[in-house]
Structure 1
Amino acid sequence: MATEKSARRTLVGLILVSIALVLVVASPFFEAFFLAAVLAGAFQGLHRWLTRRVRGHDGVSAGLICVGTVLALLAPLAALTAFIVSEVIEGVNVISNIVEQRGLQGLLAYVPGPLQGPAGRMLDRFQSESAGVWQTLQEQLSTRGASAAQTVGGVVATTGTAVFQTAMMLIALYFLLREGQRLVTWVESVSPLKRGQTTELFTEFRRVTKSVLVSTILTAGVQALAAFAGYLIARVPVPVFFAAVTFFFALIPAVGAAVVCIAAALLLLATGHPGFALFLALWGIIVVGLSDNVVKPLLAKRGMQMHGAIVFFSLLGGLAVFGAIGLLLGPLIVAFFLTVVRIYERDYGRPSPRPGDPATPPETRAVPAQPTLAEGEEFEPSELHTHGEVEEHPH
């Protein structure tokens, strides 16, 4: 017959095994679930407000937030794709008209002066070898067809994975918005921690993730404004569009806002403005690129109980270890450590000295505080006994 102690140990072991198995099952969706939890915590106030607006229909408000998230993700991509496609089509039409009217030599008039020599030599070589161009092209296509197919297949697979993870994130976000409060209450009830400690951890996580998200968006705005100033100085065509693209790329940690500035600098160099191109490249690397490492920690620490240096290194360390999602995981891990230590120090740390403790000198014993009297008031005997015992002395 198993004793109660052994049965309890066995049950704890089974719980640990079940937790490990759940983590294995959920590991393919880790990023999707993590981002959904982060967004659910950040949108909790908005969800409550929308729920009141739609007369208590929490499912409708959760659905509206998910739709808004989809639009926020797809709108910049759709605008960027439409602009690139329109510009490519316009460029192809211009080149076709020039070739029809002036031939291939007419294109040299649009090439910047320093590049006209190499461009002319390339054009002469192309015309002299035009007889074997199609044969060479067919040979290259036949020999490299397999590798090209593999590359296209990899791109399609990566895109499909991203779409799938986004869909899983939106589904998890919907249910966390609707059932998040019940889930927190259940975790609080089954947690081995004292009452209130689990909720305190969740509150700290929500504060940290909200601070990181807000600081990321505000930092992207600051970088877009700085880049917009550089585009105006360098006379980049369509500066407002390039500033919008800079804001979008600033939200992607693996890319960054400086990439757009460098691309615009290459555009200026190709159109014969080397001075402005050099200025814009330096501006993008020094001002736009490095501002992310300065502005984001300053903004993020306002919502965290951390020093600015700790926020800075947690952001960079999380990015280096976990990738783009590390911008959230890094501060969360540090916040988890600090919160656990703070809770332990508060609830189980050094006890405060008590009156009468042998370690406390007699002259430092605490004296019961006497109530403050307003002018004209007198003590009643019941009040004396309320605020402390009064020792009676014989007259």
Structure 2
Amino acid sequence: MQAKLEQRSFLLLLIVVTLLFLYLLKPFFGAVFWACVIALLFHPLHIRLSKRWGGHENMAALATLTVCMALCILPAVFVITSFVQEGHALYERVQSGKLDPAAIMDKLRTSFPMVESLFGRLNIDLDRIKSLATDAAVTSSRFLAQNAVQLGQGTLSFFASLALMIYLAFFLLRDGPELVNLLVRALPLGDEREYQLFGKFAEVTRATVKGNLVVAAVQGALGGLIFWALDIPGPLLWGVVMTMLSLIPVVGASLIWGPVAIYLLAIGHWTQGIILIAFGALVIGLVDNLLRPLLVGRDTKLPDYLVLLSTLGGFALFGINGFVIGPLIAALFIAFWQIFVEEFNPTADAQAVEQQAEELE
């Protein structure tokens, strides 16, 4: 009796202390999460370098992080800086009156009267939408302008998080296998199940990050390129926005190029509008339809609709990190249920259920 009480008390305190520790790490969730992602993505490179250099783990981890910074981190900082500069220029155009969202809405109403009639039947107030569009344009562009230094060059907290992420990634690359073995030993789920779940975690994380980022980068680059070719102001700004929106499956970049194409048609630039619609639907959309199932759905072994739902849910709950966390949770959900079915429902029972189903048919 005393031994059971002591054991239960210890387990209760273990849970409390673990939850307190996780709460303590909450402010650094983004840095810790992306350090784990970097370690998973670049682990094969680290292993290759470690073998080539005779097992010098520190040198291999440092070289791997250098490659990571050259390929990912430094270009991202450059793009963010350029993005904010474009946002500052957009704010100046709005303030000077060169770009007037209200005038754009009026032009759309004049060019497409059927839309106004349709909105009227649906009890949608276009004047209210015009006011909201103006306020949104001013607010967002002002935010980018006022925070150009902070967002472009980085605040102290941004650099602190970046340094913490790189620091943690170094140790995760170097000590990753030992940490996994320690977790397998600590968790009471059974070693075989734990290795299966850790394998699924690594597989889905790599596929989701690489697949979604490749698709988003390609779509954003194509969108910025066509904006530049059609002489649409701020091609880099809109290219970056399309890159971020492309993390959302199906709709993604069309949320930007679609309204711009409609506006071009409304002001009489038919050639530009038709080219943008054709390029967006046939080229940018084709990238999403071909690459995303190939790079994300195939490797995560998730159906397209589940990838979409889990990605949207991840965005809603976890922000920008959700495009990885959402599909990851969905994949672990499927993995847990597969383990449950395999271990708690024998094949014979499954075959019997199938036979009964065939008889009913």
TM-score bracket for this pair, using the shorter chain length:
0.5 to 0.7
Distance change >3 Å, CA 296–CA 247, structure 1 → 2: farther
1:259-338 pair list within 5 angstroms = 274-279=269-274, 282=277, 286=281, 290=285, 294=289, 295-338=291-334
Please tell me the residue identity of whatever aligns with 1:278.
G
**Equivalent residue for 1:250?**
243
**Equivalent residue for 2:155?**
159
Shift of 1:58: 1.5
Secondary structure in 2 matching 1:200: helix
Cα distance in 1 for partners of 2:217, 2:203 equals: 21
Shift of 1:284: 7.0
Distance change >3 Å, CA 53–CA 327, structure 1 → 2: same
Shift of 1:332: 0.9
Cα distance in 2 for partners of 1:315, 1:299 equals: 15
Cα distance in 1 for partners of 2:13, 2:79 equals: 52
Distance change >3 Å, CA 345–CA 77, structure 1 → 2: same
Shift of 1:42: 1.8
Q: Which has the larger radius of gyration?
A: 1
**Equivalent residue for 1:202?**
198
Contact 1:247 1:257 in 2 (8 A): no
Cα distance in 2 for partners of 1:225, 1:189 equals: 45
**Equivalent residue for 1:25?**
24
**Equivalent residue for 1:185?**
181
Shift of 1:66: 1.8
Secondary structure in 2 matching 1:192: coil
**Equivalent residue for 1:114?**
none
With CA pairs under 8 Å and 6+ residues apart, which has the higher RCO, 1 or 2?
2
Cα distance in 1 for partners of 2:191, 2:85 equals: 58
Distance change >3 Å, CA 79–CA 44, structure 1 → 2: closer
Q: Deviations over 1:148-187 (max 9, x none)?
A: 99x8479638733332222211111111001111000011
Q: Deviations over 1:273-292 (max 9, x none)?
A: 93454346545765576557
How many residues are paired up?
287
Cα distance in 2 for partners of 1:70, 1:252 equals: 24
Contact 1:212 1:300 in 2 (8 A): yes
Distance change >3 Å, CA 84–CA 344, structure 1 → 2: closer
Cα distance in 2 for partners of 1:182, 1:85 equals: 44
Contact 2:238 2:256 in 1 (8 A): yes
Contact 2:203 2:300 in 1 (8 A): yes
Cα distance in 2 for partners of 1:316, 1:62 equals: 34
Distance change >3 Å, CA 279–CA 76, structure 1 → 2: farther
Which ranges of 4 or more aligned residues in structure 1 deviate by more than 6 Å? 82-86, 262-266
1:339-378 pair list within 5 angstroms = 339-350=335-346
Cα distance in 2 for partners of 1:297, 1:247 equals: 22
Unaligned 5+ runs, structure 1 = 89-147, 354-395
Distance change >3 Å, CA 172–CA 314, structure 1 → 2: same
Distance change >3 Å, CA 349–CA 11, structure 1 → 2: farther
Cα distance in 2 for partners of 1:290, 1:13 equals: 52
Shift of 1:335: 1.2
Contact 1:252 1:324 in 2 (8 A): no
Cα distance in 1 for partners of 2:326, 2:5 equals: 39
Cα distance in 1 for partners of 2:240, 2:189 equals: 43
Please tell me the residue identity of whatever aligns with 1:185.
N
Secondary structure in 2 matching 1:306: coil
**Equivalent residue for 2:45?**
46
